[in-house]
Amino acid sequence: MDDASLTNHGSSKASPYHFRPIGEGDLALLARWRTAPHVVEWWGVADGPEELAEDGVVKWIVEFDGRPFAFAQDYDPHAWDNHHFANLPPGSRGIDQFIGEADMLGHGHGTAFVRQHVRCLFAAGAPAVGTDPHPGNARARRAY
């Protein structure tokens, strides 16, 4: 599976969640989210502008009913030496995500959009998907 096969993310009229690739116009939004206390707690302080293009990484803005509220990315864990998901079969994807808008926390959005994201990755041919929340991040662990 190549990254190009992941660009249609299966958003449908039946789902209130829409995934779109991040672009230059999203940098200010991502910078704001990356300074939000609930994001900094688990993602740390951003060093600078988000990378828009990284080999093996597909980055998304997640919208709920047209409102951008979260960031998601998926990547090929085999693109890095000794990645902790290296035991997953070839074609697998690793995922990371956060909800940037604090008022969207605690309403089940994380579980719902991660479920949709993973379903799309499986539909694109990924045999497995891995994620690795911090052990102390109870909110993320509940979502998964």
Q: Please write the tens of the pLDDT for every residue from 33-76.
A: 999 999 999 988 877 666 666 777 899 999 999 999 999 999 99
pLDDT band at 15 (very low <50, low <70, confident <90, very high): confident
State residue 2's pLDDT score: 47
Percent pLDDT > 90 in the chain is: 62
Measured distance CA(121)–CA(124) in Å, rounded = 5
Q: What percent of the chain has pLDDT over 70?
A: 86
How buried is 66 (Cβ within 10 angstroms: 0-12 exposed, 13-18 middle, 19+ buried)? exposed
- Residue 72 · residue 113 · CB < 8 Å: yes
Q: Is the dihedral of CA 84, 87, 92, 98 positive or negative?
A: negative
Residue 138 vs residues 102, 142, 143: alpha-carbon distances, Å: 16, 6, 9
- CB contact at 8 A, 73 and 95: yes
Contacts of 71 (CB under 8 A, 6+ apart): 22, 30, 33, 59, 60, 61, 62, 97, 98, 100
User: Residue with structure tokens 């074609």?
Assistant: 91
Reply yes or no on whether the pLDDT at 6 is more than 60: no
